[in-house]
Structure 1
Amino acid sequence: MNIGDKVRLLHGREEGIITRLSAGGQVEIEIEDGFRIPALKSEVVVIDAAEKEYFDRPGVETNAFEPPVQKTLPAASTEGIFLAYVPYNDQLHDLVLINHSQKPCLFAVDELSGEKVKNLEAGVLQAESFRKISERTLQDFEQWPALKFLLIPLNKKFDAPQAAMERKVKFKATQFFKHKGKAPLIGKESYFFQLDLREKALDVKKLNEALNPVAKDAFPHVQPKRPPASVDLHIEKLSREHDLMSNSEKLQLQMEVFQKMLNDAMTSGMDEITFIHGIGNGVLRKEIHRFLSQVNGIKYFKDSQKTNFGYGATTVKIHE
């Protein structure tokens, strides 16, 4: 049993990733919503190994249940700048910056500690090349500092300019260990992430138009799209690269989707809609409730029943 193994509690329904091994046979598990729970090694089982051993036995129907497996990402086929954690041995990983593009890139990599910054590496990374910038051990996963990357593509001939990009990275175990595959250029099994994916900028004008629509009869031929009765705002449902987004970027995207779905519900004639935001630290819930308190056309809103969403959702009743 090692850090990064996916496990399940024997006497519960929780599943997660081991983030810490402690003396006395204890482990710490990060479950899907980011919460960490302690458990004894004797109370958890590694999912893949235990289920494979059971379902491969003679007399057990393998089609009765399909055990979850850790997905392996294919090697990246798109161009871009990647961060890869390449295993040197069972615990030590090389931290590698990969330029899988046709342009050289000026870069700087900093470690963050509160308000303080320490530079790890800086320079020019040539096209189709990579550079080791540090090392990390899985045993210290919980103590890995946040990283900040500054990336500036360089034109060696006349071409359209590309803006500099700044990206902050702080991993959660439940997301980090899902990103396993063959890293570009290196070709080894690694945990790798694309750094130069640009989030779509929030168009304030269009958002305001969506939230303050003109009279329905101005465009009688346009039928507003009816959203589902419940909308899941968990960030992993909204963005495939959420693990590389800052907290403010995540909140901005979640609020953008919430406001769009609320507007669609109101203009399509729905009388009720539920937004699943989870419990977490409560920031998203507070922002949603603050927004709802200022919107006309809302009869009331309330926390949903515990049996359905564990108080991690808000139901909005809309005026007819």
Structure 2
Amino acid sequence: MATIRDVAKLAGVSVATVSRVLNQNGYVNKETEKRVKQAIEQLNYKPNEVARTLFKKTSRTIGLIVPDISNPFFPELVRAVEDVMNIYDYTVILCNSDEKGEKEKEYIDILKQRYVDGIILTTNQLTIGEVSKIDVPVVVLDRPLDHSLPSVIANNYEGARMATRHLYDIGCRRIAHIQGPLHVVNAVERFNGYRDEMKELGLWDEQLVFLGDYNLKLAKEVTLHALQTLSIDGIFAGNDVMAVGALKAAQQLDLDVPNDVAIIGYDNIPLSEMTTPELSTVSQPIYQMGAMAARLLVKKIEGQSIEQSQHKLPVQLIQRKSTMRE
């Protein structure tokens, strides 16, 4: 394997000159630069990226921290970030925090040691004070943190009101809500939208709210309990994974969905079309969100001006068979 010294010898220049050509740092006349590049190509020389990173304090790498990659919502988000970053010749390091603040802090320390050029956060375990100390460009995705940080989110509040109103419009009057984790901002926003719509409809009853924690198994368990102890004819689940759990519970009790109990989820992950019946849902522009966050981060890394740093994207209600009553 060729070394930088081999390139210097073949080109008839010093190692320092080859280094300046590789790093585009310092003046090298065009003829010398041409000889160095010809020598690099002839020897098929590959620079030591670790050494270059240490020298330049940059790596053309970004970190992407997600709370739970097993949640079907996040793979599409990750794919969008990776697709855009690849266009700009950045590599993505994926970190799974498991909704644990300490693990998130450890990942950030590791990413900084690797001289990542920026970080995209899709969790909200850290305070704004902790994030401000990261000392590399940060963009917040899916879960808002603070207006001082560029962010890309969906309109969770309006989406929740939309879902609740849809259940009312098809005849539901006892509408339960399976809520996501209490510490997750988008779960709280969806709960707030559900609560406010129920109050406006004159149907608000706090006994109809159950914690599902964005978990299929837990959502199934709380739905089984709710359907057996309360009169419920509609369920708005805070994400599609919990909606699947609710659907399984209804089917276990031999209830007809949607005629006995109608169910709607949130996110529009592929799984929502694979159930029987197919799940109605509130669709987030998942890929668009990830792509937009990636472009924002590139602009921050490259020092470009950002005309708009806060983005709240619209959502869309998609009706499928789980809310199509006869």
Which band: TM-score by shorter chain?
under 0.3
TM-score by length of 1: 0.25
Q: Which is richer in strand?
A: 1
Which of these two proteins has the greater Rg computed from alpha carbons? 2
TM-score by length of 2: 0.24
